[in-house]
Structure 1
Amino acid sequence: MKVAEADILIVPGYGDSGDGHWQTRWEQRLSTARRVEQADWNNPVLEHWTARIVREVSVATRPVVFVAHSLGVATVLHALPNLGAKVAGAFFVAPPDIEDARRVPEGLTAFGPYPLARLPFPAITIASRNDPYCAFETAERLTQNWGSLLIDAGESGHINVDSGHGPWPEGTMVFAEFLSRLQPPKVH
């Protein structure tokens, strides 16, 4: 699949992805990418956030590919039962451990637990060994349940601007390869 053949939905996490964040850069560079905007980035409500994703998928005119970071990963997973067959794939980065109140900001555990069913589309999950919001072992367990390919990002923090991942060229290469292997979903 090529960029022009997909609606690429950028799904930031808690606090949004600022100007220097790799998600913002990708949104600006990929012609069919658009951000799933939330009404309140700093006070997330699961039902509101998932409803926004469902709405964006419903207006998509091409197969959907998610590019989700942090809490955006949990949001996409909780929205899945309401998305239909338009999703071709998901690129998940730095999923937080939303079940561990010691690791995530207050209130974000309301997004837990993660759905653990196998995903109905191909996915890649990139996780770091020193992400302050998720132990690598937790990311391994989650991706095994989802049937997602796990990519070990080494010691890369939360894979955001604070950890030095503004442009993130390695992520761009992995995403390009992932996208090139996707097939449009089969609509029944």
Structure 2
Amino acid sequence: MARHLLVPGRGIPRPEHWLRRWADAHPDYRWAPRPPGPPFNLADRVAALHAAITADPEPAVLIAHSAGCITTVTWAGRHAGPVRAALLVTPPYLDPDWTPGPDDPPDYAFGVVPRSRLPFRTVLVASRTDPYTTFAQFEQYAEDWGAELFDAGDAGHIETASGYGPWPDGERLVAALG
């Protein structure tokens, strides 16, 4: 048996977002951290995820969306804990050479995204029409992280604006992870 931790992106998912629907439908799923909304402070998010993972010796399945994927891979690069697997849904691509400019919001300061192989089974969900990441960039992330790549097709960013409330494919992927 595994516990499920939901790792949110930058904002607070709308009630119709698949992450919120899953949280409501599965009382045993826990937020890690609870969606705080902007600004996105990576250090705070990684610390909250670490606290949630290490709070229980039971292995966790991490379910991350967008910037939550960055939180997850950053955590894995700095910490260890009982994690069975991760579902990383449409991680945004961050150019390793990019630095925020003076007019960028402070929550754009993600830092360099770790590119080493993750120490647990990982499925990366990629969209061919994501506005933040090209399919080739998803493929590179999957290769770097040692993740299985799931091609979601023309799915946008797999969020409410792209038409995702219910997401049966995602539920099947989580079930296969344990």
TM norm structure 2: 0.88
Q: Is the 8 A contact 2:8 2:35 kept in 1?
A: no
- C-alpha distance in 2, partners of 1:139/1:101? 21
The aligned counterpart of 2:129 is 130
The aligned counterpart of 1:168 is 167
Structure 1 residues 150 and 164: alpha-carbon distance in aligned structure 2, compared to 1, 3 A threshold: same
The aligned counterpart of 1:97 is 93
Letter in 2 for 1:145: D
**SS of residue paired to 2:117:** coil
1:79 is matched with which residue: 58, 62, 75? 75
The aligned counterpart of 1:46 is 42
Letter in 2 for 1:63: P
Q: What's the offset of the Cα at 1:108?
A: 4.8
Unaligned runs of 5+ in 1: 180-188
- C-alpha distance in 2, partners of 1:175/1:7? 11
Structure 1 residues 173 and 40: alpha-carbon distance in aligned structure 2, compared to 1, 3 A threshold: closer
Q: Is the 8 A contact 1:78 1:114 kept in 2?
A: yes
Structure 1 residues 74 and 138: alpha-carbon distance in aligned structure 2, compared to 1, 3 A threshold: same
Q: What's the offset of the Cα at 1:109?
A: 4.3
**SS of residue paired to 1:111:** coil
The aligned counterpart of 2:157 is 158
The aligned counterpart of 1:24 is 20
CA RMSD of aligned residues (A): 2.0
**SS of residue paired to 1:176:** helix
Q: Is the 8 A contact 1:54 1:82 kept in 2?
A: no
Structure 1 residues 39 and 28: alpha-carbon distance in aligned structure 2, compared to 1, 3 A threshold: closer
TM norm structure 1: 0.84
Structure 1 residues 91 and 39: alpha-carbon distance in aligned structure 2, compared to 1, 3 A threshold: closer
Letter in 2 for 1:77: V
Query: Does residue 1:33 correspond to 2:33, yes or no?
Result: no
Letter in 2 for 1:85: G
Q: Quote the sequence identity (%).
A: 34
State the Cα deviation string for residues 95-116 of structure 1 (Å, max 9, x = none): 00133689xx844542232111
Structure 1 residues 107 and 134: alpha-carbon distance in aligned structure 2, compared to 1, 3 A threshold: farther
